[in-house]
């Protein structure tokens, strides 16, 4: 997203008719798109610009957090409704990059974990009504975060299967948190897209080659991005796609020995991507789990990077 400038947008007349409001919103939408503001971000950004241009007074909490701002002016409320009507599902996108896959009785399931603001009691319980002793709005039973998982599916879990879900969460959530920490380089955003595609491919149950390749691309882009942020050369050409080699270069600079077994599990030959070599479910799932375990290691190494040492 580029810096937004109300004067650059240039709309100065408060709409008094439906036609004028539609013209303003069309102009606003085009301006926000030109600044690479994503559809689900445009309501908040748009209300901010409209409030500034039309001198609409919004209390500080509303202007900063977007909470309750619609209540203070009917024009701002119409701005929200316009974006919701135009973009609908894209207005509230899934947390695609905030998800991971795990196995239950031979079927892969996806857990989506949103970013939590404030204090929330997190539990994992087969009892769907368990809120950890907190009001439902201040609690999260992670069993609800498993996409398409039903109460019947939950009730059928054995103790071993339930514990396996808990173990998968212990690996998956730290990996998602680590990936959120990577910023300051365009490769990180591309890596998050690759990761989202890899999970989609796993859940499809058939696209094992795509899942494995996108997983390898995620690891490759994050390691290269972290090296580039430090103004260090990263491998290019054919060697630049070999995950153990990229991992070795990363480890040499950041002073960490990345586990060879994880790097090898993630590594995916180009022949797999193009179908010249078959990928199995086991290959794709092993790569996914290896990536989840690797991501916190990359984040930890980056946070202790040489350039931060006095």
pLDDT at 164: 95
Q: How confident is the model at residue 298 (pLDDT cuts 50, 70, 90)?
A: very high
Q: How confident is the model at residue 268 (pLDDT cuts 50, 70, 90)?
A: very high
Residue pLDDT, tens place only, 151-172: 999 999 999 999 999 999 999 9
Q: How confident is the model at residue 68 (pLDDT cuts 50, 70, 90)?
A: very low
Q: What average pLDDT does the chain have? A: 86
Residue that the structure tokens 């039903």 belong to:
150
Give the C-alpha distances (Å, rounded to integers) separating 296 from 26, 172, 179, 269, 290.
43, 10, 8, 24, 11
Burial classification of residue 205, based on how many CB atoms lie within 10 Å of its CB (0-12 exposed, 13-18 middle, 19 or more buried): exposed
Map out the domains of the chain as residue ranges. 6-91, 97-161, 182-310
Averaged pLDDT, 239-257: 95
Averaged pLDDT, 218-243: 94
pLDDT at 91: 61
Three-class SS of 244-269: HHHHHHHHHHHCCCCCHHHHHHHCCC
pLDDT at 253 over 60: yes
CA 125/CA 142 separation, integer angstroms: 8
Of residues 187 and 59, the one with the higher pLDDT is: 187
Residue pLDDT, tens place only, 4-41: 888 899 888 889 999 999 999 999 999 999 988 888 77
Percent of the chain at pLDDT above 90?
53
Q: What global pTM score does this model have? A: 0.71
Percent of the chain at pLDDT above 70?
85
pLDDT at 138 over 70: no
CATH number at 182-310: 1.20.120.330
With the C-alpha atoms ordered 197, 35, 1, 226, is the resulting torsion angle positive or negative?
positive
pLDDT at 63 over 70: no
């Amino acid at each position: 997203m580029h810096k937004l400038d109300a004067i650059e947008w240039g709309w100065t007349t408060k709409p008094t008719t439906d036609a004028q409001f539609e013209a303003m919103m069309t102009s606003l939408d085009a301006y926000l798109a030109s600044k690479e503001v994503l559809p689900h971000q445009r309501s908040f950004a748009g209300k901010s610009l409209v409030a500034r241009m039309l001198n609409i007074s919004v209390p500080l909490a509303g202007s900063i957090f977007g909470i309750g701002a619609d209540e203070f002016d009917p024009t701002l409320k119409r701005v929200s409704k316009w974006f919701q009507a135009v973009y609908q599902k894209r207005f509230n996108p899934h947390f695609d990059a905030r998800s991971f896959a795990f196995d239950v009785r031979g079927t892969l399931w996806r857990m989506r974990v949103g970013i939590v603001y404030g204090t929330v009691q997190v539990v994992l319980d087969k009892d769907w009504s368990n809120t950890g002793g907190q009001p439902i709005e201040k609690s999260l039973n992670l069993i609800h975060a498993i996409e398409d998982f039903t109460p019947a599916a939950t009730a059928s879990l054995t103790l071993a299967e339930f514990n396996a879900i808990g173990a998968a969460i212990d690996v998956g959530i730290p990996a998602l948190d680590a990936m959120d920490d990577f910023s300051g380089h365009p490769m990180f955003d591309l890596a998050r897209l690759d990761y989202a595609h890899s999970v989609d491919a796993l859940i499809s149950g058939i696209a094992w080659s795509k899942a494995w390749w996108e997983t390898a691309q995620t690891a490759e882009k994050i390691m290269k991005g972290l090296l580039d942020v430090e103004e260090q050369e990263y491998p290019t050409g054919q060697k630049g796609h070999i995950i153990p080699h990229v991992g070795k270069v990363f480890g040499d600079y950041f002073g960490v020995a990345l586990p060879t077994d994880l790097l090898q599990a993630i590594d995916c030959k180009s022949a797999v991507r193009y179908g010249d070599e078959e990928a199995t479910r086991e290959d794709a799932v092993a790569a996914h789990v290896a990536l989840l375990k690797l991501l916190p290691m990359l984040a930890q190494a980056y946070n202790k990077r040489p350039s931060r040492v006095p």
